[in-house]
Chain A
Amino acid sequence: MALFRKTKYATLSARPGAHKDIASKCPGCNAIQFKEELEKNLYVCPACDYHFTLTAWQRISITFDENSFEEMDAGLTSLNVLNFPGYEEKLNRARESSGLTEAIITGKGLINGEPALAGIMAPEFMLGSMGAVVGEKIARMLERAGSEGIGAIIFSASGGARMQEGIFALMQMAKTSSALSRLHDRGVVYISVLTNPTTGGVSASFAMLGDINIGEPGALIGFAGPRVIEQTIGQTLPEGFQRSEFLLEHGMLDMVVARKDLKATLSRLLRFHRRGGRE
């Protein structure tokens, strides 16, 4: 006697491409990593220590104490001042896909109980490019840090100035730099965290102006990309060029801190530089 009834077909739940929802290939070592595991490991590959690029909200959730982060100036949005063709569409697409209004989130929160003003760049929004709104949000955040006497941190992740805003974008380099200079005059600490990638006008302004410059391991940090430089100077670049570790060795960074140690490092630095000196 047959144990089972013969059926013509069986239902399988095959879903092509389903693996992309649950796993991603590590760009560092090509090993397949499950998103759940990666999340637990702060989006760092457990096999090769590759630091995946974080979205702004991922960065906020792993850095700030739970429910402590309050966003500010969320209503500022970019306009197409130069009537650059296609810019509005691009902005709309970026807003839709990222759920953000601009390429940076600014606000105030607690890091291991230590208050901080912060700007978190969003690489998922037009590659974290800096336009007038990004510059304005940073300037306002730094102003507030100065008036409240609370340390400021900017997590950079950017392709540079936003070309669709032309000279207005480039102007943000000067604007953010002068805001930092005023913060400096007030004796308030500014920590710059350079993550993968920090390039162009961002690296040439506030990202490199920290009282303390911290790089994430393996982050690409530079002004022009390595290919452009190679073509310009006609030389092969050394290994590890423009990576955090290389920059540390050449005096451009103060430290390279693994993601798992970053929160503790930041809170320690904030406490140390708290106004009124050491505890």
Chain B
Amino acid sequence: MTRVLIANRGEIALRVIRACRELGMETIAVYAQGDEDTPHVALADEQYCIGPAPAGLSYLNVQNILTVALEAKADAIHPGYGFLAENPGFAKLCHSLGLVFIGPSPEAIEAMGNKTRARELMEAAGVPVVPGTGPLTDGAEAEAMAAEIGYPIMLKAAAGGGGKGMRLVEEQESLSRALEIARSEGEAAFGDARVYMEKYIQCPRHVEIQVLADNHGNVVHLGERDCSVQRRHQKLLEEAPCPVLTPDLRARMGEAAVRAAKAVNYSGVGTVEFLLDKEGKFYFMEMNTRIQVEHPVTEMITGIDLVKAQLQAAAGEQLAITQEDIEFRGWAIECRINAEDPQRGFRPAPGLIQEWQGPGGPWVRVDGVARSGWQVPPHYDSMIAKIIVWGQDREEAIARMKRALLETRVEGIPTTIPLHLEILASKDFISGNYSTALLGRLLEKGR
């Protein structure tokens, strides 16, 4: 593997190019019109325009990307995250063209991409899943199942999505009425009245385990990341390790994640997401079969370059380390700097960055493409940079992140920096005792 095409843009494209360079691999950038002058294009060894700005015509244009790959004689494609990263059809096409898709097999992507299938596989592999049922036939069955699972429970429309057909039931008295409503909502919204039941996890933490696997069946985990600071399932700030995880729980979650990866013959880097409840019980949520935005916090506490590891695994190299060799040192936090306006409902606020001055100093890392005079395009996601810090302990990491954020100057567009400062100053966050409800509460208070 000597020539890698990066089928992505922005900071992750840049991140991949950096890893390739350190491994002595040549890089081929593809870009949409309007992205000509971004760093990922400038830093690559070769660059090709693949279409107009809208992603559907460029970064999602499989034909054009594969044509470039073949014409430019790439031997591997790195999909980054988003766009084509979890598209099994794309991975399959790469394989049939003799290109290495830097990621797991299409079968693994497909298995994890299908919620029902993934759940079945995980149950079979002994990975805990949120207790739940199949479609419910009648009220009596629902009552029996709810008693078994334990209240509160959540009723969900089988064809559901977007919160429609979802009903929280706190006690038995309200079950039959809620079932009726969920059914009729499901019928009205999706033409499907089937409803199933799941245990409702109150104020969970979002804790995910990073796994690393080679093509030879070896899998290790690289500890966890706590991504509980999120707004409507959009992660904003991540830290590693998780402030409430004991070594024992870490080991158990890690083992579960490794089992999950092995169940689908996983290879490369991947993330197994869990919900962690107050009693320390954890439940499989989903597996992300790609590199993740928040991977740097794991890199900071393990000293392992995840993107390089991903490239090496894809090249067929065999893992030389075992679980015992992996050590965690210190604390890392990542803040996502998005061109969004927290004052106006987090609306994306693309526009001209009149001035950008990133932070510096010891143990501060900036992965990003933001710079002065850059017009943030409206076509893609609004993240312009990630600031990552490392500290000997959590306290130092928090103080360092505050320092780094205060050093950062952005003029011209609103960003999430003020919100990050607010989070870092909040009592709940400082205590480490918080859940996915933290940001919601904080925003509520601000209003």
**B392 on the interface (CB 8 Å rule)?**
no
Q: Is the CB of A6 within 8 A of B317?
A: yes
Q: Is the CB of A10 within 8 A of B320?
A: no
In the complex with contacts A4-B214, A12-B98, A12-B100, A34-B93 CB distance below 8 A? yes
Q: Name the residue on A nearest B100 (C-beta).
A: A12
Shortest beta-carbon distance, B51 to chain A, in Å? Answer: 11
Find chain A residues with CB under 8 A from B64 CB. 32
Q: Name the residue on A nearest B321 (C-beta).
A: A3
Q: How far is the CA of A74 from the CA of B197 in the complex (A)?
A: 58
**B149 on the interface (CB 8 Å rule)?**
no
Interface pick from B308-316, B377-385, B439-447: B308-316
Q: Is the CB of A14 within 8 A of B98?
A: yes
**A7 on the interface (CB 8 Å rule)?**
yes
Find chain A residues with CB under 8 A from B93 CB. 22, 34
Size band of the interface chain B makes with A? 20 to 34
Residues facing A in B42-88 (CB within 8 A) are 62-64, 66-67, 70, 75
Fill in one digit per residue for A3-23: 1 if any B CB lies within 8 Å of its CB, else 0. 111110011111110110111
A-B contacts counted at CB < 8 A amount to 65
Q: Is the CB of A2 within 8 A of B98?
A: no
Find chain A residues with CB under 8 A from B95 CB. 13
Fill in one digit per residue for A93-120: 1 if any B CB lies within 8 Å of its CB, else 0. 0000000000000000000000000000
Find chain A residues with CB under 8 A from B325 CB. 1
Set B63, B96, B320: member contacting A5, Cβ < 8 A:
B320
Find chain B residues with CB under 8 A from A12 CB. 1, 75, 98, 100
Q: How far is the CA of A3 from the CA of B19 in the complex (A)?
A: 14
Taking beta carbons and an 8 Å cutoff, which residues of A are in contact with B?
1-7, 10-16, 18-19, 21-23, 31-34
Shortest beta-carbon distance, A38 to chain B, in Å? Answer: 11
Q: Is the CB of B63 within 8 A of A11?
A: no
**B353 on the interface (CB 8 Å rule)?**
no
Q: How far is the CA of A15 from the CA of B75 in the complex (A)?
A: 11
Q: How far is the CA of A93 from the CA of B37 in the complex (A)?
A: 55
Find chain B residues with CB under 8 A from A34 CB. 62-63, 93
Fill in one digit per residue for B179-192: 1 if any A CB lies within 8 Å of its CB, else 0. 00000000000000
Q: Name the residue on A nearest B304 (C-beta).
A: A3
In the complex with contacts A14-B75, A32-B66, A4-B317 CB distance below 8 A? yes
Find chain A residues with CB under 8 A from B433 CB. none
Q: Is the CB of A18 within 8 A of B96?
A: yes
Set A3, A4, A14, A23: member contacting B63, Cβ < 8 A:
A23
Q: Is the CB of B320 within 8 A of A22?
A: no
Q: How far is the CA of A31 from the CA of B313 in the complex (A)?
A: 33
**B318 on the interface (CB 8 Å rule)?**
yes
Find chain A residues with CB under 8 A from B304 CB. 3
Q: Is the CB of A4 within 8 A of B100?
A: no
Find chain B residues with CB under 8 A from A21 CB. 96
In the complex with contacts A32-B67, A33-B63, A10-B316 CB distance below 8 A? yes
Q: Is the CB of B98 within 8 A of A1?
A: no
Shortest beta-carbon distance, B54 to chain A, in Å? Answer: 15
Fill in one digit per residue for B301-340: 1 if any A CB lies within 8 Å of its CB, else 0. 0001000110011011111110001000000000000000
Q: Is the CB of B320 within 8 A of A4?
A: yes
Q: Name the residue on B nearest A4 (C-beta).
A: B317
Fill in one digit per residue for B205-228: 1 if any A CB lies within 8 Å of its CB, else 0. 000000000100000000000000
Shortest beta-carbon distance, A14 to chain B, in Å? Answer: 4
Find chain B residues with CB under 8 A from A22 CB. 93, 96-97
Q: How far is the CA of A182 from the CA of B93 in the complex (A)?
A: 53
In the complex with contacts A23-B63, A34-B63, A3-B320 CB distance below 8 A? yes
In the complex with contacts A12-B75, A34-B63, A4-B319 CB distance below 8 A? yes
Q: Name the residue on A nearest B305 (C-beta).
A: A3
Shortest beta-carbon distance, A262 to chain B, in Å? Answer: 26
26 contacts between A and B (CB under 8 A): A1-B321, A1-B325, A2-B320, A3-B308, A3-B309, A3-B312, A4-B309, A4-B317, A4-B318, A4-B319, A4-B320, A5-B317, A5-B319, A5-B320, A7-B316, A10-B317, A12-B98, A13-B95, A13-B100, A14-B75, A19-B97, A32-B63, A32-B64, A32-B66, A32-B67, A34-B93
Q: How far is the CA of A99 from the CA of B46 in the complex (A)?
A: 46
Shortest beta-carbon distance, A119 to chain B, in Å? Answer: 36
Q: Is the CB of A19 within 8 A of B319?
A: no
Q: How far is the CA of A34 from the CA of B67 in the complex (A)?
A: 12
